[in-house]
Structure 1
Amino acid sequence: MATSWTRKKGTRRVTNGCTCSTSYLCRDRAWRRGGVAEHATCVASGTWTTTRKKAFVPRNVCLDALKVSFQGVPGAYSEQAAKKCYPDAEVVPCPDFETTHKQVADSSVDRAVIPVENSLGGSIHVNYDLLMKYRLHITGEVYHKVRHCLLANPGVAKEDIRRVQSHPQALAQCDGYLDSLNDGVIKEAVDDTAGAAQGISLDKDCRDTAALASSLAGELYGLDLLDQDCQDNDQNLTRFIILSRDPLAISEDKEYKTSIVFTAGDEPGDLFKALSVFALRDIYLTKIENRPIPQFIVESMDNEDLFQNLFYVDFKGSLSDESCQNALRHLSEVSAFMRILGSYPADA
């Protein structure tokens, strides 16, 4: 479901599925009279209403009955992350990231586990854009260590390998290893790591080609493990976020992160003013990402009123913390648009 943008006193507003007075989460009187605190109470209590004014209480879904979507074919690193979050859930593969989001939005599945950044490759920009397109909430995060394995058909020796297939990022992360393998091998980019393993398994005559993928992919597709930990840097971590249709009720006994997106003006010092609301309250920022306005939003906006950039920020703290509420209230006074993406337990 696309996010709707509506003219509001010279700004644009966005709804987030909540009908407390802060539902548009932008610069408005509701924020200045304490609307941030009202929205935080709404989320923290676990009870809110949809934009159709129907009372809605989160479902008590048994975790082993959950359906969780991920991008890729079975054996993908995203599947490993999904099973790490929900070991007993039914995992549902999706061909692309947008389908992963859509399945949560249309209630085909209960959760999605998607990657947003890698310690070596950086941010996965398409997923930041999709956070603006779908009215989903971030309800958790997990860091997953990526361990690339060299996989080939049964009976193929490591010395026989002349070509290696994998996702471009995986090939780049193993560049040094591949250059030294058999005096250098041909690197072939494919759509995803597990897909490379699947493709090789379907061609039993493929005796000179290997895949870089997870050990799970090797097990699923009956491939031999020729080598493991092929990445050049052992500190290869991918951060995944969990998406849900409903925000998470806040517990007081956990360390939390909160993710937001906002715009800053184009005058000197505008970004400084926006970020200073956190510094003034000693709130620790764990990430800031600058992205252009997605095309699907640009098409619905007036040319003379386009926001130049979106800033995605993660910080330590929850919506129940008074300092965070005050910071968000202050930010709403200096930013034309802001939206809370989620407040969730931080992965240790």
Structure 2
Amino acid sequence: MAQRQKIAFQGEYGAFSEQAALAFFGNGCTPVPREGFRDVFQDVLTKKVSAGIVPVENSLFGSVHQNFDLLQEFPLSIVGEVKLRIRMNLMSLPGTSLRSVRNVYSHPQALGQSDRFLRSLKDVTLHQFYDTAGAAKMIAEQQLTGAAAIASLQAAEHYGLKVLKKGIETDRQNFTRFVVLSRTPVRPRGAAKTSLIFSTNHAPGSLVQCLSLFAERGVNLLKIESRPIVGRPWEYLFFVDVAGSSTDEHLVSALTEMKEHTSSLKILGSYTIGKVVR
């Protein structure tokens, strides 16, 4: 019998990251919960797991900056992606009514994404927690009365909680993009994208020169984001997604010339454009 792939994710069982792992790898994988994002990267690097999966951006709340920093730090490759529709649900101990809830626990992004519903509740205090599913687990283990968590339906089922209200997210077009991490790069099949990080030479027009190399070769720029460089005030790293594989002739040409205008350049990986899971 083939050994099941172990896939590290941040959070507890029932977390959206676990759903993303199952959506990408299928039910034949074994999701492995880890406390922090750095733990996921470290487990992949040290071969404790076959791969890892982490969120990098949400359609409503933007990028998960810590994971961009970790992508720069760790010598790992992005080998895939999946975009997961996020549905927020309010849950509590069985026997709890919506009117009796006085404290709501969840990850800061989940609280923010459910802001309109939460503002409709009276006399409720919001508490930030490290993980959506972790909030559900805490309520179940500590048997907290008058408390509710915002998490997935899978978390409610896993921890034996009652769902008080389904679909409390403010915007139904709520998606999170997850990337899959591996020690070894892959050759993408079909439509591909390439992710890279670079810093420019400290000279006027350097960023424009870099980006124009893609435009001149008809390479579609899919995403660009800047992050400050630690220890170098007012200097930035740029995270970029472009259409195509790093082995495509036009992209090879752009990246080769780009080295003349950058002080650092790291290709994070080329991979097949991921599916949207609703």
Category of TM-score, reference length = shorter chain: over 0.9
TM-score for the superposition, normalised by structure 2: 0.94
| Higher CA-based Rg | 1
Number of the residue aligned with 1:270: 206
- Within 5 A, what are the aligned runs for 1:1-348? 65-87=4-26, 88-181=28-121, 183=122, 185-204=124-143, 206-251=144-189, 254-294=190-230, 308-348=235-275
Displacement of 1:214 after TM fit?
0.7
Q: Give the TM-score normalised by the residue count of structure 1.
A: 0.76
Retained in 2: the 8 A contact 1:139–1:242? yes
CA distance in structure 1 between the partners assigned to 2:273 and 2:115 by the alignment: 32
Where structure 1 has 5 or more consecutive residues not aligned to the other structure, the ranges are 1-61
CA separation of 1:226 and 1:284: change in aligned 2, threshold 3 A: same
Return closer, same or farther for 1:155/1:307 CA change in 2, 3 Å cut-off: closer
Q: Percent of aligned pairs with the same residue?
A: 41
Cα displacement (A) at 1:220:
0.6
What is the letter of the counterpart of residue 336 of structure 1? S
Secondary structure of the structure 1 residue equivalent to 2:171? coil
Q: CA deviation at 1:330?
A: 1.5
Whose strand proportion is higher, 1 or 2?
Answer: 2
**Partner letter of residue 263 of structure 1?**
S
SS in 2 for 1:263: strand
By how many angstroms is 1:131 displaced?
0.9
Instruction: Please name the residue that 1:51 is paired with.
Output: none
SS of structure 2 residue aligned to 1:232: coil
* C-alpha distance in 2 between matches for 1:250 and 1:123: 24
2-side partners of 1:330 and 1:108: how far apart? 38
Structure 2 unmatched ranges of 5 or more: none
RMSD of equivalent CA atoms: 1.6
**How far is 1:203 from its partner?**
2.6
CA 1:223–1:199: 2 relative to 1, 3 Å:
same
SS at match of 2:239: strand
Q: Runs of 4 or more off by more than 3 Å in structure 1?
A: none
